Structure 1
Amino acid sequence: MSFNNSSACYNDTNHINILPVCIYSFISVLGLILNLTALVFFFSQTKSRSQTIVYMTNLAIADTLLILTLPMRIYYHLGFEGLPPWLCDVLGLVLKANMYGSIFLLTCICFDRCMALCFPMSLHVQQGRRKAPLVCLGIWIFTFGTSLPIYLSRHTKVNNEHCFDNLPIYAMQTVVVLPTLILGFGFPLVIMVICSWGLVRAVQQSTVAQTKLVDSRKIYRMIATSLLIFLISFLPYHATLALLSQYSNISCPMRIAYRYSLMVACLNTVLDPIAYYFTTNTFRRSVEISTVQRMFPLSS
């Protein structure tokens, strides 16, 4: 495989790449604040911890771990040198594993909501939903377990000189990128679309919704928000990945497109907590109450 080694494709020493620095800084600061706030709330729900809260807690942890890899990317795009190759590999592994962990956890949240609403009286469904901690454990093992062998083979196949500007090894091998696209994005997307359709149908057929005791528009907004966040965050990245796998000579614009699509995927760490706020009534009330208490500490 031949690459275009134009300096525009890579970040040079003592040269600040301003756009990645700004975007990653924004994600790091805002995402860390929002996810830590979410984790404080989720861990405080010891008495009313639902299956959805279990998935959301693990999602917030995955997003936080991803965010913790971004300061080194900011350091690199500021033009500093001295990052060892092994650190570039480890941080790349953590970012990609947590990104796909977030995808699977978002899918589980959507599936769990669908099962809870469509089959509220099914004993088997309720028993299956109680296995949420085991499902989360399986997701952690799967994402890191499948990513680790790929990154262990990186040194023998890829020049690691340019650290975070290097394309991931799975973007260069069709035998790897195809399962990544299918299992890491296509399959979760299909599940989310089917579950979203099932949720909409269940709400439309619900007698409670028809009597206006429940605002069905809020439920529709929740469904649309979850699906939209998923598509905005991960569709550009995987579309770029699919294009990269089709070419043996990867041009400079394609490298830049991959770099920016990865930034968009990282933006998911900011969008997830916003989704918690707008789709979880208890979380919204708790955040609003705690904010008021901090603003007016002497108020009853």
Structure 2
Amino acid sequence: MSSFMNMTCPNVTCLHPEQNQIFVGVYSVVFIFGLTLNLTALVVFFRNSKSSSHTTVYMIHLAFADILLVCTLPVRIYFHSVLGGLHLTVCKLSGLVMLSNMYSSIFLLTCISFDRCIAVCFPLSSLVREGRKKAWCVCLGIWILTIATSLPIYFTKKTKPGEHNMACFGGFPHYATEKAPLVSTLIMGFGIPLFIMILSSWGLIQAISKSTAVQTSDLIDSARIKRMIITNLTIFLFCFLPYHIMLLILHFKKCTCTLLTAYRYSLMVACLNAMLDPVVYYFTTETFRKKMDVESVRKIWPMNSHSSDGNARSRAPFTT
């Protein structure tokens, strides 16, 4: 019944000029800052490749995923600026890249959280050390999984008459709200990653709270580490929870302009993750944090540009 009702969902009348201005503005900000910050992150990571950890491997792939995602945003900016004018094939390819990289980001963020947790909780385990060395293999598996599972959404459904223009980014997400894809998305694409992130975050906080070395050392800021963990989990929930809730609501409720608008806003919020992920890099990687701090100081006080941060590195806090 829900699928039948969704087929009558209005498209054209749900796109209002003032809402399109919001989409154009937000997508433009995410594109500019997301591209700049993630490119900066990659430069920092590759320049410090000799001192990079296994967690950094996941963050490099996460930065690539975010860059690919933000590179699809100009298509959406153009669509919301002129209300159409795009070939449906362009929309499908753009949507495919966005969707696959959104879930790549979810899985990579989960891997970062899990990798950090086992590194701290089981520092002496040879099995954990060997497993962490497989980071590149895990990343390759994530890329294959997300691309393979995203393809059916855009290439199994036939285009209906009249969908060439407004259905580009204004139509109802028919395939994503069907029962089988929806259950798979909610469980495999979001539910399990969220559970792992919560469990990993709890494990990290417990390990830090019970560690005598952490509590007594002046070199380890346990409060900052806990803020990092909470910040990462908050960003994850803020960006991805609304989108998946809207998919569930659209499956059960009759399609209306209000629901369609809420769905589009939830997708826009999900895209904010590409701009917020550098916060994860900043808090997770001490090298990245110090590099950014030094570069900022050099821009403000050019006379100190020859100073070294070597002494600061010797005081590196509790990181993985």
TM bracket (short chain)? over 0.9
Which residue in 2 is equivalent to 1:161?
165
Residue pairs, 1:215-226, within 5 angstroms:
215-226=221-232
Q: Which amino acid aligns with 1:23?
A: V
**SS of equivalent residue, structure 2 residue 82:** coil
Which residue in 2 is equivalent to 1:90?
93
TM-aligned CA deviation for residue 122 of structure 1: 0.2
Residue pairs, 1:256-267, within 5 angstroms:
256-267=261-272
Q: Which runs of 4+ in 1 moved over 6 A?
A: none
**Separation of aligned partners in 2, 1:43 and 1:97:** 24
Which residue in 2 is equivalent to 1:75?
78
Tell me the percent identity: 51
Identify unmatched segments of 5+ residues in structure 2.
Answer: 307-320
- Alignment TM-score, normalising by the size of structure 1: 0.93
Residue pairs, 1:1-300, within 5 angstroms:
1=4, 2-5=7-10, 7-10=12-15, 17-79=20-82, 81-156=84-159, 159-162=163-166, 163-213=168-218, 214-247=220-253, 249-299=254-304, 300=306
Deviation digits for residues 158-189 of structure 1, max 9, x if unmatched?
94432011233433311111111111110000
TM-aligned CA deviation for residue 76 of structure 1: 0.5
TM-aligned CA deviation for residue 296 of structure 1: 4.3
**SS of equivalent residue, structure 1 residue 245:** helix
- Alignment TM-score, normalising by the size of structure 2: 0.88
Q: In 2, are the aligned partners of 1:24 and 1:263 still within 8 Å (CA)?
A: yes
- Gap change, CA 1:281 and 1:99, over 3 Å in 2: same
**Separation of aligned partners in 2, 1:77 and 1:188:** 32
Residue range with higher mean Cα deviation, 169-178 or 218-227 = 169-178
- Gap change, CA 1:156 and 1:22, over 3 Å in 2: closer
TM-aligned CA deviation for residue 157 of structure 1: 6.7
**Separation of aligned partners in 2, 1:259 and 1:226:** 24
**SS of equivalent residue, structure 1 residue 168:** coil
**Separation of aligned partners in 2, 1:6 and 1:87:** 18
TM-aligned CA deviation for residue 111 of structure 1: 0.2
**SS of equivalent residue, structure 1 residue 82:** coil
Number of residues of Structure 1 aligned to a counterpart in Structure 2: 297
- Gap change, CA 1:293 and 1:183, over 3 Å in 2: same
- Gap change, CA 1:172 and 1:16, over 3 Å in 2: closer
Q: What CA RMSD, in Å, does the superposition of the two structures yield over aligned residues? A: 1.9
TM-aligned CA deviation for residue 293 of structure 1: 3.1
Residue range with higher mean Cα deviation, 196-205 or 102-111 = 196-205
Q: Which amino acid aligns with 1:5?
A: P
Q: Which amino acid aligns with 2:196?
A: I
Q: Which amino acid aligns with 2:38?
A: N
**Separation of aligned partners in 2, 1:42 and 1:157:** 46
TM-aligned CA deviation for residue 3 of structure 1: 2.4
Residue range with higher mean Cα deviation, 75-84 or 139-148 = 75-84
Identify unmatched segments of 5+ residues in structure 1.
Answer: none
**Separation of aligned partners in 2, 1:215 and 1:238:** 35
Q: Which amino acid aligns with 2:57?
A: V
- Gap change, CA 1:172 and 1:24, over 3 Å in 2: same
